[in-house]
A and B are shown apart, each in its own frame.
Chain A
């Protein structure tokens, strides 16, 4: 069996067709690597017929830093800080994914306090991430006000993180065998304040943007992703759930203390841009629900069960762990040789990489402006694609 690998050049200029390609009406446009809608350096090569999109060819790799290779030279604790820099909007969840895999592999036990704080932090960050997504979606589709409103709410949640963690973006908070620091004494009080502040704001979002007829017309029935295709493409997170598949690791394979919380999985009916939009708005409400249920019952205990200096022994073999970040499933595969203090090989299955390829199917047949709506509702974070 032979496998033909298509390069970008083959797609743009098929052999022998070079002369006739000029005669057709189709043409190519580069969207990116520097483009206002590409939230990072992502290049989309778009084959157009007039303004109708015939094909979208994503060209990732502009933010590739080789995190997986770098991790082979760093100790188990040191690789955590690299994961902050993948999907920086769910940095804590990335920390958690790697820490949890190491804990599972090395057999490190945590306590209910650690797990509860981790869950709370992850949900707060999911909120923070979706709030920013909402603002940026508004800006992508031509409304600047939501962008400012989104950042206003993001800042409020960011202050909670700042107080407990000491950082705003690159957290490095959740570590194998515990947390970097215990929660700040003010954490519970402030979180409650923020929740009380956020709830009416999400209704405000509905008035300002969701109810807006222009936004509705730009999202409704655009870029429909059927459930079967979403699964086949490996889409996860809100993108998959908007297509009607209720696959959420928090519910299906509960980790942390999600099993204790009562929440629903938002799903869409059709799988178009509008459903992806509504699913995220509903996820914000569910996140608030989860935090509300857990915030009062943080159990007592130490914030770390493993001392920082202690050597973590990961037995030889391949270990896999996964959690649900704000954008989908982040899978971590660790191959350990059982001797050294570093992974022999680390492989990260990032949600954005799989979600990105949905754009190749969704955009076909739509207009240039619809690519923007589609890409915005896929909620891509480019450093997570390239790693």
Chain B
């Protein structure tokens, strides 16, 4: 019999503002002699110790994730929101039509869309600029997109040594979306409508620009593994 019996809760009904509320009154201390209190105290310390040492004896019951070591097997849920990505179809054509709905939905202006007059369509995407440094990962851009052209990926390791590397151009090429490109039968004309875009660079402050007293931005080719493979290779600044 311990000093406090946690199962010793009292159920009753109280009235608050005329309404009955079922309550459970939590356990309090029983009045006990000094010697009993001392014995209980000692017992409580020992039973706590037994619990912790129990885990020491059964290491399998402990969940420890060896994070940097388990990178190869680490699997994040598919809905995990970490890095924004533009979707591309099987030809490597983007689905983004530069309608700017995501730009408007973004609560803190982390998305900036630059457009230009195009050859195949009146208006086409020039640069889709996403600022990871101010993004709050609220998913509003993905939700607002009527073309399902955006997705959040689980790529969560964002640390870099230069904050200019946190401002991305998400599109691989400046040009019309897949819907417009596929209407054009001539492959040469399609290719001509697409101008490669680099990951870093553009007119947004810090986006590829130099900082006073900071070395010029140097990006190793293939800095972004998501960009390898499909269609127009990005021109990467030296």
Q: Is the CB of A170 within 8 A of B137?
A: yes
Identify which of A166, A184, A213, A267 contacts B45 (C-beta below 8 A): A213
CA distance A77 to B101 in the complex (A): 14
Within 8 A of B (CB), among A293-323: 308-309
Name the residue among A77, A165, A211 with the largest chain B CB count within 10 angstroms.
A211
**With A206-B6, A212-B44, A247-B16 as given contacts, are A81 and B21 in contact (CB-CB < 8 Å)?**
no
Q: Is the CB of B29 within 8 A of A220?
A: yes
- CB closest residue in chain A, given B26: A278
- CB closest residue in chain B, given A203: B6
Q: Is the CB of B52 within 8 A of A208?
A: yes
Which of B76-84, B179-187, B208-216 contacts the other chain?
A: B76-84
Q: Is the CB of A211 within 8 A of B21?
A: no
B229 within 8 A of A: no
Query: In the complex, which residues of chain B have a beta carbon less than 8 angstroms from the beta carbon of A184?
Result: 77, 79
CA distance A266 to B42 in the complex (A): 29
Q: Is the CB of B21 within 8 A of A248?
A: yes
Q: Is the CB of A181 within 8 A of B48?
A: no
B63 within 8 A of A: yes
- Smallest CB separation, A182 vs chain B (Å): 10
Identify which of B47, B51, B136, B143 contacts A180 (C-beta below 8 A): B143
Q: Is the CB of B63 within 8 A of A166?
A: no
B138 within 8 A of A: yes
CA distance A208 to B19 in the complex (A): 38
1/0 per residue, CB under 8 A from B, across A216-231: the answer is: 1000100000000000
**With A172-B138, A252-B16 as given contacts, are A269 and B25 in contact (CB-CB < 8 Å)?**
yes
A163 within 8 A of B: yes
A340 within 8 A of B: no
Identify which of A152, A170, A265, A309 contacts B23 (C-beta below 8 A): A265
Identify which of B2, B79, B140 contacts A211 (C-beta below 8 A): B2
Q: Is the CB of B79 within 8 A of A164?
A: yes
**With A152-B63, A212-B48 as given contacts, are A180 and B139 in contact (CB-CB < 8 Å)?**
yes
A59 within 8 A of B: no
Q: Is the CB of B23 within 8 A of A166?
A: no
- Smallest CB separation, A156 vs chain B (Å): 8
A26 within 8 A of B: no
Query: In the complex, which residues of chain A have a beta carbon less than 8 angstroms from the beta carbon of B122?
Result: none
Identify which of B2, B14, B44, B79 contacts A163 (C-beta below 8 A): B79
CA distance A181 to B139 in the complex (A): 10
B11 within 8 A of A: yes
A275 within 8 A of B: yes
Query: In the complex, which residues of chain B have a beta carbon less than 8 angstroms from the beta carbon of A213?
Result: 3, 40-42, 44-45
A150 within 8 A of B: no
Query: In the complex, which residues of chain A have a beta carbon less than 8 angstroms from the beta carbon of B105?
Result: 77-78, 308
Q: Is the CB of A308 within 8 A of B143?
A: yes
CA distance A286 to B41 in the complex (A): 28
Q: Is the CB of B77 within 8 A of A208?
A: no
CA distance A211 to B140 in the complex (A): 47
A336 within 8 A of B: no
**With A78-B107, A264-B11, A282-B9 as given contacts, are A208 and B48 in contact (CB-CB < 8 Å)?**
yes
Q: Is the CB of B137 within 8 A of A167?
A: yes
Within 8 A of A (CB), among B68-106: 76-77, 79-81, 101, 105
Could you pull out 13 A-B pairs where Cβ atoms are within 8 angstroms?
A: A170-B138, A207-B48, A209-B48, A211-B2, A211-B47, A211-B48, A246-B23, A252-B19, A265-B23, A265-B24, A278-B27, A309-B101, A309-B146
Chain B positions within 8 Å of A, measured between CB atoms, are: 2-4, 6, 9, 11, 14, 16-17, 19, 21-29, 40-42, 44-45, 47-48, 51-52, 63, 76-77, 79-81, 101, 105, 107, 136-140, 143-144, 146, 152
Leading 10 A-B pairs by shortest Cβ distance: A213-B41, A278-B26, A166-B79, A78-B107, A81-B138, A264-B24, A246-B21, A166-B81, A163-B77, A172-B138
In addition to A209-B48, A264-B11, 16 A-B residue pairs with Cβ atoms within 8 Å of each other are A78-B138, A163-B77, A167-B137, A208-B48, A210-B6, A211-B2, A211-B47, A214-B45, A247-B16, A252-B19, A265-B24, A267-B14, A270-B28, A278-B6, A278-B27, A279-B26
